[in-house]
A and B are shown apart, each in its own frame.
Chain A
Amino acid sequence: MQPQNEVMRRDVKVWQGVRAALPIVLGYLPLGFAYGVLAREAGFNLWETVLMSVLLYAGSGQFIAVSMFGSGVAAAAIIFTVFLVNLRHLLFSASLVPHLRRFRPAALALLAAEITDETFAVAINHYSDHEAHLPYHFGLNLTAHFSWVLASLLGGLAGNLMGDPARFGFNFALPAMFIILLVMQLKDKQTLVVAALAALFSVVIALLWPGSWNIILATVIAATLGVILEAWTGKF
């Protein structure tokens, strides 16, 4: 009796995770489609477009990688920029530790591959009043990832047919995504100041020094100033 109960319970948990992913899927479909279109525009073929969604699986990182590649930026600078952009996942992963530390490292290594802003937000919210379950988490992660890959494939297929994506406003899909992600990051006054400093440094450095180092330099300087500012104003 006991094993059968376990199996049924696992089944229920998986579907709970799948259902929890549905709002994410609604957001991922248009965004993944836009990525697919932009990747083809930047010179990726269909398989490269889909492979990036399978292996990298990070919306903003993928938009940045293909747009930088399209403007002829070197691979090393692209990889380093994506590293900085996705470094925030370190915080997500660290915040999941208290909920997931009792599970096997191998399972966690698999689960970690599909941590995104959205799946993290849904999972950590669920774990604030439910016990953590791997079947739930994998149901959530795999559903979200599948919808992202599917949307990239559809965008990649459409990309070749629709001509100049700017005609449909796709040239603003990336800035618009940065705007909403930035708005969601602006939690307090310090973060707002750091963001404003980063924007200013990024523009000034880009004007003085063409290339893509403005993103990395502005981020490191602004975040460091944020920590110094925090110490100064005695926030902690």
Chain B
Amino acid sequence: MDRQILIIILGTALVTYLPRMLPLVVLSRMGLPEVFLRWLSYVPAAVLAALLAPGLLLPGGKLALTANPFLLAAIPTGIVALKTRSMALTILTGMIAMILFQH
């Protein structure tokens, strides 16, 4: 087993487990500061947008606003996501759109 990969698996597993476990087990009687909870409530949307945007706008590391299959495929994918809120349908739409647009 590749050592680098093993470090990544164990490291990511640990940093994922702790936030899943600590509030339920340790903080159950203390609670978190209100301002920290509000900050946390913005993190999911922020991190998802931060991950998504470069993937769509900078394929291959360069800004591409035209003839960009990633940007084109995002349009039907976003519409299906908004209309159905179904993870399976959205991903299927995205993959089919990508097959169509990259040829």
Contacts and interface: CB of A to CB of B under 8 A. Distances in A.
Given A45-B1, A194-B42, A31 B50 contact: no
Interface stretch (A1-9, A14-22, A77-85, A152-160): A77-85
B58 A203 contact: yes
B28 interface: yes
30 contacts: A34-B91, A52-B9, A56-B12, A57-B13, A78-B11, A79-B8, A79-B11, A82-B12, A93-B21, A93-B22, A109-B25, A112-B24, A113-B20, A172-B98, A179-B81, A180-B87, A180-B90, A182-B45, A182-B48, A182-B52, A191-B45, A199-B52, A199-B53, A203-B58, A218-B46, A219-B43, A222-B46, A222-B49, A226-B39, A227-B35
Interface in A54-82: 55-58, 60-61, 64-65, 69, 75, 78-80, 82
Given A82-B16, A183-B78, A203-B58, A176 B95 contact: yes
Interface of A: 26-27, 30-31, 34, 43-45, 47-48, 51-52, 55-58, 60-61, 64-65, 69, 75, 78-80, 82-94, 96-97, 100-101, 105, 108-109, 111-113, 115, 166-186, 190-192, 194-203, 206-207, 210, 214-215, 218-219, 222-224, 226-227, 230, 236
B84 to A, nearest CB: 9
Q: Classify chain B's interface size.
A: 35 or more
Contacts of B41: 91, 191
A179 B10 contact: no
Nearest to B78: A179
Contacts of B9: 48, 51-52, 55-56
Q: Which one of B11, B16, B40 has the highest number of Cβ atoms from chain A below 10 Å of its Cβ?
A: B16
Contacts of B20: 86, 89-90, 92-93, 112-113, 115
Interface of B: 1-2, 4-13, 15-17, 19-25, 27-29, 31-32, 35, 37-58, 61, 63, 70, 73-74, 77-78, 81-82, 85-88, 90-99, 102
